[in-house]
Structure 1
């Protein structure tokens, strides 16, 4: 959190539409399902395991969302994944999207510790401050749950989100869309391929978006957002391929303010008072603002020597954040500047042999400058809490290897390992109580993975995996003393999964199921008392266990009708954790509802002229859950449902489309990041978007 929130409340999504099951349907071309003779759920090729493979042949519960499905469901940021990734929670606090998958996640938004869910674009890991960037012109999104220590290392304790941008093609195809809605919403997208030569192709993509405030007095508004990406694909020989991209995200507006938890006025959940209800702080919307800038440059260079491929993946990200917002009616002022460069070298062999192996080296270097002020009155506030980190250096190194060995043509054994070394250093910083401090900590760790998968029958895969994950440690912003060490220990997670994937009835029916059991050690937590205006702790909960089951089904009843259902049963609890004088043994972890699920339905009406009209609806529902690990009063989110619908007309040949859409039809208020105390409490929380609706026009050439 922003140095003062205890933890995040989640929107946990157990989704057929976003599961590997439903995502395949969206990728099936209309020409393949126009008639009863050509029905079936199409295949998607994914690279989440750093190998190209069918999602139904990957021994893991990978969620794959193709570009058409992202567009269809209006998924424009990581925050929207909360409604389409089974068993996951993605919530916002200003510019940061906090991710939790199967109860594993992180609620601290400051650079002292790393996020537990990694977000990558084209294999380049993004810093936490860039997690709120928009999705646009993506070929697909892949979400891989569970600890991914072997292939991804640190910041993948709970899983990874991989964004894969659309690759330039040797043609002049392009697309454009224009969308408008309530709250004066506007979104414009443009994309164009350029065929420069037989060996060089370029692609440009651009997005502009804006909307008025969702809260009273104009707060929670995106005044202007600009996104752009230029990509190049160069193939001078059959053995060498170079893919390069550069992207920019620039946004300005007014961030949202927290609301009282529980809601004081349930009839007006998005209303913000003009004056703090206890502390008499003026809430001046004219002083509230944000400015975010994220620049990413990266590439992939592949060189093939016989059956061996050498890959080099360099990356650079620059993030600039400036923010004035209100939390618990207190002014919150932040500046966060982060620059990261990374390099990965990977050697792999052809997948046609008995062994499919890969070996890699990874390095990342991050520089951070961070200022945080939390107080009362004006911006910048007089600072009841001050944290000034003029320079923090993170270094990360790793070496990894993984092999898939075919015991028989039907049975495969996977084994892998990764050694990681990570450090965080800062000097001459100002801590939470306004006192100088320094930190210089490093950690090393070995992760491993062992798994077996087998073709149990035609189009039926069974698998079992044991693997570990590791989140580097961090520091607490106070000086070391003879009785206090500001080191925060790394997290460690060991998971056991057993699953099955199947495609039945001539690919009309897909059923996937995975049971999981996690042993979670040294869970990193943060606790802040908003009423007292003081950071209490950034530390570790010694042990927790997480177990449950994820089930997804997609059934194509006809060439025009598809039905989906999915649910996740989850139990995430502490087994050894004393916080202050409170024993939290058997307490549910934050953002972990016992049940969550979705139901979806698609129907296409074929018209005589070759056009069609498609109706799409899905509804998310879940039981209540705690927003704080300590179960403070007022921090429990009650059970709820949220429903989205679209109705789209597609001209003959899909030359253009026109549609109407609505999100959160029920207008359900759902809490985002949550903290104890304040306004007047017993808790305060950010709040997710209200009902929105609009129209959309698009064309392709």
Structure 2
């Protein structure tokens, strides 16, 4: 079955079942033992989600930050790398196609049927780089019905959004659907940063010549522009606006102490990406065949600053090819999937990072220049199944073997004072041979990874509407190469093993749903990216395997629908995430702001122009993982007032609470987000024929400043923070036909 065409279950009364396809079969979420959160089209519209960051407001313990690249963390597990070939520990898929570059995530959030967020390692059906989880975006597929919609949304910060879709039955066997999305918004920061400018379009065709064969074709294109993301001073200085100008004088005074370059006032994003894919489904009698070939291309450039002591300028060209083939057989007694996956990607990138002096490193304002080709090739085979031993007891099992190569070839890099490299242009000349000529130091390297990942579990029906389950899952994120000098610029895979037990229940004649789950995650070979010396003794964004962590907790998910017009939702999650070991090095001999005990001198490196520089170790064992609040709560109430005319008024109120959490991996005491609560509300009028809806909305009503992460200014007690949106409000009009 083509994604986006899943039928909705029709219970006799009460809560409507949510249908998912996360396990490559159609099932109710109440019959699935996956740790799964589902966000439907209505929730996306209510929350005003136009970028991945918006999912942070809807899924507990999902943290999404942005600085040119989306950085996704799930229960404290993610990726903090800031370069063009970073790998997210949360795999991102759109209509069954893996999207490797996080710079391409934002163009997917329109004309969406639902989003499935799988929590925990997915080592079988998704495998590669899904050590923390998976986000599946399922867009609306074509149907044999003439229909469509057009919506306009306006708000403060000169926000406007135009979105629409048209579904057309072309012949009795062929249907098409076209959708578009236009978003414009001024920046939340006073100098125009943190803005949004996006143009997206998507075409889907579905040919069904018989009940046994279907062929779907899809093409999408997105362009994002504007100034892009930047940061603000964290903590906010007394009397200052949290959304202050990133390039203004107030930010500048905190940068001067480290000789940092000023945040550019002329930052920009210029990103175009295109994707084409197909999905063939054929019933072969003995099994159902699915074939999904896809190709993606990206041309990306940006110039911005996180408002710390770094300015980034980069341009990437990315070419991605993938193919997945599956055979599935589903009966009343068993479900089985066999498949293979091929992935190839090549990234070409030039970049320059200007940074201020770092204590113990080179003096003066310095720059890191890189130019590289980064290829990746992965092959995998997998098998997954569920077998009914009795009419109430089922067992689950799955296994996947992955073989992968990642590398950096033809790459050069240098770190030096700008004045000492007169042959390098003062501003980056991207993809210019003359630019590469001035660089020094080879970084050629290739790593090979292979891994066996798996899952196993049991499901038991306690009653017709109650199911208990227990699972063990193992996933991994592959190793790779960072853009420092070879040898020694590679790192190993990281692995996560998850132990989960839970129960899903429906009570009170299908009016009350209560799902409970507990989990324990064993996290090994933690990949950590930070500025440090490479083997030449020069500064680079270094990635190392620095330790291990354990993460445990539980959640309660409640839906109560006492009557058709009222729906109450409540979710609470407890999380305890601590490092069992975490040791890293720095050239800073002492730093009273650091919480991690010092190990003293653990080595030295010859830095150009300075000679031997001591390296000091720090041990963060026992420290909390960043972006992992101990408590998160979310609740909501929806009420429908039906008028005598048949029209309806709908009120939606929701609130989110988070306890405090660390913002950075280097364990500096002040880099902590304090507890916060967010409140959102909207009122919708729906016409009697349900064709017209008018909505007034407000988000972050109390104008609470919340930060996704922060990057410290040298050794000062201030940082550049990635801040979430302030209070926003507006209205929308939608016409459906």
Residue 712 of structure 2 aligns with which residue? 676
Residue 476 of structure 1 aligns with which residue? 482
Unaligned runs of 5+ in 1: 1-26, 33-37
Distance 1:524 1:106 in 2: 8
Q: Matched residue pairs, number?
A: 657
Shift in alpha-carbon separation, 1:533–1:79, aligned structure 2, 3 A: farther
Q: 1:495 aligns with which of 495, 498, 501?
A: 498
Distance 1:682 1:207 in 2: 38
Shift in alpha-carbon separation, 1:358–1:240, aligned structure 2, 3 A: same
What does residue range 246-325 of structure 1 map to in structure 2 within 5 Å? Answer: 246-265=219-238, 267-272=240-245, 273-275=247-249, 276-277=252-253, 278-279=255-256, 283=262, 286-325=265-304
Q: 1:540 aligns with which of 528, 540, 545?
A: 545
Matched position secondary structure for 1:68: helix
Distance 1:489 1:124 in 2: 26
Q: CA RMSD in A?
A: 2.2
Shift in alpha-carbon separation, 1:41–1:122, aligned structure 2, 3 A: same
Distance 1:549 1:281 in 2: 43
Residue 18 of structure 1 aligns with which residue? none
1:640 Cα deviation (Å)? 0.6
| 1:231 maps onto 2:234 in alignment | no
Matched position secondary structure for 1:455: strand
1:513 Cα deviation (Å)? 1.0
1:64 Cα deviation (Å)? 1.4
Retained in 2: the 8 A contact 1:644–1:662? yes
Distance 2:211 2:41 in 1: 28
Residue 336 of structure 1 aligns with which residue? 316
Matched position secondary structure for 2:244: coil
1:133 Cα deviation (Å)? 2.8
| 1:62 maps onto 2:51 in alignment | no
Residue 121 of structure 1 aligns with which residue? 94
Distance 1:266 1:336 in 2: 40
Matched position secondary structure for 2:272: strand
What does residue range 218-617 of structure 1 map to in structure 2 within 5 Å? Answer: 218-222=192-196, 224-265=197-238, 267-272=240-245, 273-275=247-249, 276-277=252-253, 278-279=255-256, 283=262, 286-327=265-306, 328=308, 330-349=310-329, 351-375=330-354, 384-431=366-413, 433=415, 435-481=441-487, 485-528=488-531, 534-535=539-540, 537-580=542-585, 581-617=617-653
Retained in 2: the 8 A contact 1:374–1:383? no
1:672 Cα deviation (Å)? 2.6
Residue 3 of structure 1 aligns with which residue? none
Matched position secondary structure for 2:191: helix
Residue 671 of structure 2 aligns with which residue? 635
Unaligned runs of 5+ in 2: 1-7, 357-363, 416-439, 586-616
Distance 2:624 2:541 in 1: 21
Distance 2:538 2:670 in 1: 18
1:402 Cα deviation (Å)? 0.8
Moved more, 680-689 or 331-340: 680-689
Shift in alpha-carbon separation, 1:285–1:265, aligned structure 2, 3 A: farther
Distance 2:109 2:203 in 1: 15
1:316 Cα deviation (Å)? 1.0
Retained in 2: the 8 A contact 1:168–1:233? yes
Q: Note the alpha carbon deviations across 1:428-475, whole angstroms, 9 max, x for none.
A: 212363632111111101011111001110110110001100110012
Shift in alpha-carbon separation, 1:386–1:283, aligned structure 2, 3 A: closer
Matched position secondary structure for 1:546: strand
Q: Note the alpha carbon deviations across 1:524-565, whole angstroms, 9 max, x for none.
A: 1112379x9944631112211010001111111222122121
Residue 83 of structure 2 aligns with which residue? 110
1:148 Cα deviation (Å)? 0.2
Distance 1:264 1:389 in 2: 38
Retained in 1: the 8 A contact 2:482–2:541? no
Shift in alpha-carbon separation, 1:409–1:92, aligned structure 2, 3 A: same
Shift in alpha-carbon separation, 1:202–1:618, aligned structure 2, 3 A: same
Residue 6 of structure 1 aligns with which residue? none
1:496 Cα deviation (Å)? 0.3
Q: 2:139 aligns with which of 165, 171, 191?
A: 165
1:477 Cα deviation (Å)? 2.1
Q: 1:203 aligns with which of 153, 156, 177?
A: 177
TM-score under structure 2 normalisation? 0.86
Retained in 2: the 8 A contact 1:385–1:534? no
Distance 2:408 2:544 in 1: 18
Shift in alpha-carbon separation, 1:109–1:51, aligned structure 2, 3 A: farther
Q: Note the alpha carbon deviations across 1:347-394, whole angstroms, 9 max, x for none.
A: 111x224221110010000010122211169xxxx9833242331110
1:112 Cα deviation (Å)? 5.0
Retained in 1: the 8 A contact 2:502–2:517? yes
Retained in 1: the 8 A contact 2:261–2:365? no
Residue 432 of structure 2 aligns with which residue? none
Distance 1:111 1:490 in 2: 19
Relative CO higher for 1 or 2, CA cutoff 8 Å, sep ≥ 6? 1
1:79 Cα deviation (Å)? 1.2
Matched position secondary structure for 1:236: strand
| 1:183 maps onto 2:157 in alignment | yes
Shift in alpha-carbon separation, 1:86–1:604, aligned structure 2, 3 A: same
Distance 1:28 1:251 in 2: 38
| 1:77 maps onto 2:77 in alignment | no
1:589 Cα deviation (Å)? 0.7
Matched position secondary structure for 2:389: strand
Shift in alpha-carbon separation, 1:168–1:668, aligned structure 2, 3 A: same
Moved more, 125-134 or 273-282: 273-282
Retained in 2: the 8 A contact 1:112–1:476? no
Shift in alpha-carbon separation, 1:138–1:416, aligned structure 2, 3 A: same
Distance 2:59 2:413 in 1: 37
| 1:137 maps onto 2:117 in alignment | no
Shift in alpha-carbon separation, 1:577–1:697, aligned structure 2, 3 A: same
Distance 2:37 2:230 in 1: 33
Retained in 2: the 8 A contact 1:528–1:675? no
Q: Note the alpha carbon deviations across 1:653-682, whole angstroms, 9 max, x for none.
A: 211011100111111111233212259643
Retained in 2: the 8 A contact 1:112–1:475? no
Distance 1:325 1:209 in 2: 21
Matched position secondary structure for 1:435: coil
1:86 Cα deviation (Å)? 2.3
Distance 1:535 1:643 in 2: 41
1:281 Cα deviation (Å)? 6.2
Q: Which protein has the larger Cα radius of gyration, Structure 1 or Structure 2?
A: 2
Distance 1:599 1:656 in 2: 28
Matched position secondary structure for 2:31: coil
Retained in 2: the 8 A contact 1:114–1:474? no
Shift in alpha-carbon separation, 1:533–1:513, aligned structure 2, 3 A: farther
